[in-house]
Structure formats: C-alpha cells, structure tokens
Amino acid sequence: MNCIQDPKRQVGYLQQCLSSDKKPLGFLLGAGCPVAVRVGADGESPLIPDIAGITKLVRGDLAKCKDCGPLLKTIEEHFKKDERTDTTVEDMLTHIRALRAVAGKDVVRGLTAGKLDQLDDRICQLIQQIADKTLPGTETPYHRIATWVDAVRRENPVEVFTTNYDLLMEQAFEDSCVPYFDGFAGVRKPFFDLRAMEEDLLPPRWARLWKLHGSINWYQVPNKGVCRGTTQGDEGSRRVIHPSYLKYQESRRMPYLAMIDRLRAFLKLPTATLFLCGYSFRDQHINEVIVQGLECTQTAVAFALLFDVIAEYSQAVSLASKRSNLIILARDGAVIGGQESRWPERDAETVSADNDEWVKWMPIDPANENGKRTANFTLGDFAVFGEFLKELAGNVRQPPEVANAQ
C-alpha cells in the first residue's frame, strides 16, 4: 500500500452523503452489527455472537444431543472428506438441504431424509434461541439508525438490508415510532406479499427492511406459504432461516429471492449510496449482487465500513480493486478508486487538534507515546457509527411541526 489517503476526507464524504435528502440511501447490516451491542455484568459480552460464535454454540449443543450428535458427526465427516475447513452453521444448513433435495426415500451419504429434516429443524431452533434477543435500552446503534431515518423528510425511502436473523432493527424502529415495511401484510398472522413489495407505493417516510437471510419469526406454513409470527412459531410450521440458493419449493424460496431483488433494484437507482456495516464479504451471492449493481450503475456507490485492519478482508479488497465505486474503509487503510491505500503517519505533536472520535491518531509503538502516530479509522465499529449518525441526525433534525406534517 504505497498510496496515502486522508481518512478525514472520507469522513467528510460520508457526512455529505448521509446528510442528503435526495439521494437513495441504504444500509447493509451484517453479523458484526449485533456484536457491537455489549451486555452482561462486565458490559463486554456481545448481545448476539457473530456467525463464528453462533456456529460454536450450535455445534456444542448438537454434540451433546443424543439424537443429533451422531448426525452432526456424519456431517463433519462429509466436510472432512470434501476438504472443507472453517465451515459455519450456514454452510451446515446449505449442505443438509442439498442432501435433502436429492434424498427422496433413499439414503444419501449415510443420512435419510427424516434425519436431515431433524437436523435442519434443530439447527434452526438453536439459531432462534441464540438470536432472539432484546436491545438493552434505546441508545443502541440500531436506535441511532432509526432516529437518523426519522430526522429529515426524504425524496426516497431509506432501505435497510440485513443478513441477520434477529429482530433488533424491527425493535429499534418500533421503539422510535418509525414506520417500516418488511414485505409482510396483516395483523394476526402476517403473510408475505410479493406484489406489495414490487409496487412499493408506501410514502418515503416509511423505511424498508429487507431480511436477506430470513428471520427467526418467518415460518413456512403448510398450504399458506411464508408467514411472519412470533419467535416461538406454530405447531407444524418450519422456520425460514438462511437461503441455500437451491431448487426448493417456490413458496419457501420466494422471500429470499424477492429480498435480494430489492437489493438489485436499489443499486440500479442513479446516485444510490449503500453503507455496509458489520459485513465481512463472505457471502459470495450478495457480493455478486453488489458488484453487478455497481457495474451497471456507475453513479451508485457503496461504502464498506470495516472493523478490523484491511489485511483481514482480502475478498473485499479484491472486489474493490476492480470496482472504483466500491470504497473500502478499514481501521488502518482503504481501497479508494480501485487503489489500495494506507492512512497517513504524523508526529505526535501535530495531531492533537485533528484527533476526534471518527479518526484517532494512535502511537505506532504503544510504548512510545511521543513517537510517530498513525490514523485509525473508527467508523467500522458499528457502535461508533451509531454515534456518527446521532450527530448527523441532531444537525439536520427538522422542527416538530414539519415532521408532523409529513
């Protein structure tokens, strides 16, 4: 990384985009977002673990289960034979469903259709138990998004896409009295309404919330398609969690396809701006949709705000190096205009006036506070990004009489 970029300038670009009332603006929230909400006696435990943490918990529970333990062992043997490492719970579901699609009444790789269904159901049940959490208070980054959405009258609705199964964004919208549409209609047992999604005639002040990987309160109801209910579900219904991009029954697949189509449609809008938070670019299907959308719409742009150092995101760097309107902003560097760059270094005495919450100047050598310092971009931390949105919302919030007139 020979090129040096100014992180403060990038913060300025973000402020400018997020302050616009005319651009189509959207967020893609990944598994790193709920990790930024800290709970517990020490205030250091994530509200919901990331996908690696969920995988560890699910594997641990299955291994102790009398019925599912042997099935898990068989699946792990499959991965070993196929030389697949670092598999996640989503990889497990995809593999299980791939086998189930061809099992019929026979045995596939040592597993019957009944055993595969049993394992699928148990994994989804465990994911539901892990992800069914409530936000602590009303000062979380999710609430900051909701407040920012409601801060100004917009020409286009804000669209929030998420790969997470939890209901945290729903809770934040409702706590903040921000109306939103998630593709379902009804009260007693809301049903998936594809036509309402496609026609999209709701006013711009309604946010749109699209769950790309399903939700802990989506269910496949026999003869009725997919419905939204409580997190506990109904007798005989199957929880709709994680798409496998296989040829399933159309009603089971439809929400996933419609939700990802909304991301495609959003990126086709001129000057569309997408902010990716807590997303590590490990989902190839979503990566393809983002890259293709940015290729087709040269005026669209995506800002990926990454928590860790840039070396941890090789897939993101590879994609951004080929797409000038995909901008990667990591803790220690960036990819801007297709070129990988690093943040600058300065002498300690020159940075005090330029130090703020969004760009912190940290000692290169922690043992030498007076030595050279390097810029650390902090907006990849979802909690910090939430404070960033709070500041922006406070600056642009309209008077109550204007808001009430919408």
Q: Is the pLDDT of residue 306 over 70?
A: yes
Judged by average pLDDT, the poorest of 33-37, 104-108, 250-254, 299-303 is: 250-254
Query: What is the pLDDT at residue 355?
Result: 67
Q: How far is CA 398 from CA 84, 155, 401, in A?
A: 53, 15, 8
Q: pLDDT band for position 250 (50/70/90)? A: very low
Query: What is the pLDDT at residue 234?
Result: 61
Q: pLDDT band for position 159 (50/70/90)? A: very high
Q: What is the dihedral of CA 153, 157, 162, 166, to 10 degrees?
A: 60
Judged by average pLDDT, the poorest of 168-182, 208-222, 353-367 is: 353-367
Q: How confident is the model over 156-175, as a mean pLDDT? A: 97
Query: What is the pLDDT at residue 93?
Result: 93
Q: Is the pLDDT of residue 210 over 70?
A: yes
Determine how β-strand 25-29 pairs with β-strand 273-277. Answer: parallel
Q: How confident is the model over 215-223, as a mean pLDDT? A: 87
Q: Is the pLDDT of residue 401 over 70?
A: no
pLDDT over 70 percentage in the chain: 92
Q: How confident is the model over 328-350, as a mean pLDDT? A: 92
In three-state secondary structure terms, 195 is helix
Alpha helix (H) ranges present in 188-296?
A: 194-199, 250-267, 284-296
Contacts with 52 (C-beta within 8 Å, 6 or more apart), sequence order: 88
Q: What angle do CA 396, 401, 405 make, to 5 degrees?
A: 100
Rounded Cα–Cα distance for residues 361 and 346 (Å): 8
Between 141 and 249, residue with greater pLDDT: 141
Q: pLDDT band for position 400 (50/70/90)? A: very low
Contacts with 225 (C-beta within 8 Å, 6 or more apart), sequence order: 191, 192, 251, 254
Query: What is the pLDDT at residue 406?
Result: 46
Residues in the chain, how many?
406
Query: What is the pLDDT at residue 366?
Result: 83
Q: pLDDT band for position 367 (50/70/90)? A: confident
Tell me if 305 sits within 8 A of 275, measured CB to CB. yes
Q: Is the pLDDT of residue 284 over 70?
A: yes
Query: What is the pLDDT at residue 16?
Result: 96
Query: What is the pLDDT at residue 397?
Result: 53
Q: pLDDT band for position 188 (50/70/90)? A: confident
Q: How confident is the model over 78-107, as a mean pLDDT? A: 92
Judged by average pLDDT, the poorest of 134-138, 164-168, 189-193 is: 189-193
pLDDT tens by residue, 1-54? 568 999 999 999 999 999 999 999 999 999 999 999 999 888 889 999 999 999
Q: How far is CA 312 from CA 3, 196, 251, 315, 331, in A?
A: 19, 40, 38, 9, 10
Judged by average pLDDT, the poorest of 46-60, 183-197, 324-338 is: 183-197
Query: What is the pLDDT at residue 224?
Result: 79
Both tokens of 130, joined, read: 């892990």
Contacts with 287 (C-beta within 8 Å, 6 or more apart), sequence order: 281, 315, 319
Tell me the average pLDDT of the chain: 90
What is the CA 280 to chain-centroid distance, rounded? 9
| 39: exposed, middle or buried (Cβ count in 10 Å: 0-12, 13-18, 19+) | middle
Alpha helix (H) ranges present in 268-313?
A: 284-296
Domain ranges of the chain: 3-47+137-400, 51-131
